[in-house]
Chain A
């Protein structure tokens, strides 16, 4: 079994989905979560609050500094994610396909060997 991060991204300036679309998205996401748990693929997952609620912590020369906002100053931010475990990339891609249909483009990224152990 290998672990993969499936992440969903929020693009600044993209049109906000309507309430109805949001409801559909939540419903489908809930179904995917249930199916992942039933299949034994589910490790963890959730949606994140907007990037302006993020804080970056840095420690330089023993001193801690904090800054308001996300780490990367980009227009795309991670909006939610799943951590799943499955046999290979094809299995992960099959989950990602369902997630992408529900929430938009999904990045599939394997965890490294040390994390798999």
Chain B
């Protein structure tokens, strides 16, 4: 029996259910943790439905605790529990509860940093040190963000509910952003090892939940497809020495075929909806990359044009320039990068360096590689950039 994996799988669902029953996130978390502690002592064999066992135990614990306390809040929570008294004793984990909790954690009235930390904590079951490691911040900072966010949810009465249909265009994007950021931090970590598989897996798990909960929202499906198709290429992203391998040089036989098939299927489902959004287009680009033996660059460029029209950000312009280089050559791509400004982001000078190198403008390429290496925070990426720069020097010296 592996209590750790049960914890990871069930924590978020149990907290979500208890939060609905108790109307209080803190109390819900404490009760669920209590119940897991009890499970650790009592479980000789696994109960048939571990999640339901945890919810029932947590609920009983919460009732006991509330009886001992006599604050106004405790009375309020007790009233809520009594209100739900007629429910069956074995309360099964309810998916709607998780959806409500995701929207609560990602409420626009909370700071973006707090949204991610809270989502990882309450829905992913990650503890404070794990979140701090994932985002390279002090544990105290993460703890404070979470405490503050939970306090604001309580004090300001941020509702524990799924927004109405007409509110979704405003309320869904922060939820998608949180899952996207979580995955990206796992896929290209700011520091430490390049890839944090656990964080990627957690983001995908939550994106799957969200897609199961909102199967009619094409952007939700688009995000899931994007994450799956990106994750599918992960096994080929580093060579046996741990060095970065660019997409064009990757061994495609290492890619995860089932994930690619699932991603492609989702992209097709999105296309049928015909309500394109930024995540769907990015997923479609990933689908083109993972289709057949080589990338169809004109198609990728067409999709980037569409993406740039929809979200004209400098990062999109940068990624589009890479496709421009493949279709129209490095000189046109360099021109496309004129005026693109991304202060502190190493990928802009890295892309410029690559284009200069292809044009034989070694001097400028070297300067751009140096600039990129100085900005890169991840050691694997920095090493890659330095290698490219040194190759340039070697090639120039040996005629």
Residue of A nearest to B71 (CB): A113
Q: Could you tell me the dominant secondary structure of chain B's interface residues?
A: loop
In chain B, positions 146-173 with a C-beta closer than 8 Å to chain A are 155-159, 161, 163
Which residues of chain A have C-beta atoms less than 8 A from B374's C-beta?
none
Which residues of chain B have C-beta atoms less than 8 A from A88's C-beta?
157-159
Which residues of chain A have C-beta atoms less than 8 A from B161's C-beta?
90
Query: For the complex, is B109 an interface residue (Cβ under 8 Å from A)?
Result: yes
Cα distance A117–B158 in the bound complex, in angstroms: 18
In chain A, positions 90-110 with a C-beta closer than 8 Å to chain B are 90, 92-93, 108, 110
Given contacts A2-B157, A110-B155, contact A89 B109 (CB under 8 A): yes
Given contacts A89-B109, A93-B109, contact A112 B158 (CB under 8 A): no
Cα distance A112–B73 in the bound complex, in angstroms: 13
User: Shortest CB–CB separation between residue B154 and chain A, in angstroms?
Assistant: 9
Which residues of chain B have C-beta atoms less than 8 A from A117's C-beta?
72
A89–B157 contact, CB under 8 A? yes
Which residues of chain A have C-beta atoms less than 8 A from B158's C-beta?
88-90
Q: Which residues of B contact A (CB under 8 A)?
A: 72-73, 107, 109, 155-159, 161, 163
Interface size for A (C-beta < 8 A) is 13
The 10 listed contacts between A and B (C-beta, < 8 Å) are A2-B157, A4-B156, A87-B159, A89-B109, A89-B157, A90-B159, A90-B161, A108-B156, A110-B156, A110-B157
Cα distance A104–B158 in the bound complex, in angstroms: 23
In chain A, positions 21-66 with a C-beta closer than 8 Å to chain B are none
Which residues of chain A have C-beta atoms less than 8 A from B72's C-beta?
113, 117
In chain A, positions 50-87 with a C-beta closer than 8 Å to chain B are 87
18 further A-B pairs in the complex, CB-CB below 8 A; given A88-B158, A89-B107, A89-B157: A2-B157, A87-B157, A88-B159, A89-B109, A89-B156, A89-B158, A89-B159, A90-B158, A90-B161, A90-B163, A92-B156, A93-B109, A110-B156, A112-B155, A113-B72, A113-B73, A113-B155, A117-B72
User: Shortest CB–CB separation between residue A91 and chain B, in angstroms?
Assistant: 8
User: Shortest CB–CB separation between residue A112 and chain B, in angstroms?
Assistant: 7
Cα distance A112–B155 in the bound complex, in angstroms: 7
Cα distance A117–B75 in the bound complex, in angstroms: 13
Residue of A nearest to B167 (CB): A90
